[in-house]
Amino acid sequence: MMLFLTTVIYYLALVLPLLLAIAFFTLVERHIIASVQRRQGPNVTGIFGLLQPVTDGVKLIFKESVLPKSSNLLIFFFAPIFTFGLALANWVVLPLGEGFALIDINVGILYIFALSSLGVHSIIMAGWSSNSKYAFLGALRSAAQMISYELSLGVTILSVLICAGTLNLTEIVLSQSTYYNFLILFPMFIVFYICALAETNRHPFDLPEAEAELVSGYNVEYSAAAFALFFLAEYANIMVMSFLTVIFFLGGWYAPFEFLNFIPGIFWIVLKALVFIVLFVLIRAVLPRYRYDQLMRLGWKVFLPMSLSFFFLLANFLISFNLLNF
Residue 11 covered by a domain: yes
Residue 7 covered by a domain: yes
Residue 91 covered by a domain: yes
Q: What is the tally of structural domains in the chain?
A: 2
Residue 256 and residue 204 in one domain: yes
Output the pLDDT for position 220.
82
Output the pLDDT for position 164.
87
Range of the domain at 250: 64-320
Cis-peptide, bond into residue 68, ω within 30° of zero: no
Answer yes or no: is pLDDT of 305 > 90: yes
Average pLDDT over residues 243-265: 85
DSSP string, 273-309: HHHHHHHHHHHHHH-PPPPHHHHHHIIIIIIHHHHHH
The proportion of the chain whose per-residue pLDDT surpasses 70, expressed as a percent, equals 95
Residue 57 and residue 89 in one domain: no
Please give the span between the terminal C-alpha atoms of the chain, in angstroms, as a whole number: 38
Of residues 70 and 191, more confidently modeled: 191
Is residue 59 within 8 Å of 48, Cβ to Cβ? Answer: no
Q: Comparing C-alpha atoms, which of 175, 230, 208, 180 is closest to residue 60?
A: 230
Indicate the pLDDT class of residue 141, thresholds 50, 70 and 90: confident
Residues 78-92 as b or e (16 or more Cβ within 10 Å = b): ebbebbbebbbebbb
pLDDT, one tens digit per residue, over 3-52 is 677 767 777 777 788 888 888 888 888 889 998 888 888 888 878 788 88
Residue 219 covered by a domain: yes
Average pLDDT over residues 252-272: 84
Q: Which stretches of 43-168 are DSSP H helices?
A: 52-62, 73-89, 108-129, 133-164
The model scores a pTM over 0.85: yes
Indicate the pLDDT class of residue 196, thresholds 50, 70 and 90: very high
Residue 122 and residue 244 in one domain: yes
Q: Which of 18, 33, 62 is the last residue of a domain?
A: 62
Residue 210 covered by a domain: yes
Residue 130 and residue 101 in one domain: yes
Indicate the pLDDT class of residue 325, thresholds 50, 70 and 90: low
Residue 97 and residue 37 in one domain: no
Provide the sign of the torsion angle of the four alpha carbons 8, 14, 17, 18, taken in this order.
negative
Q: Which of 62, 77, 100 is the last residue of a domain?
A: 62
Residue 57 and residue 193 in one domain: no
Residue 83 and residue 228 in one domain: yes
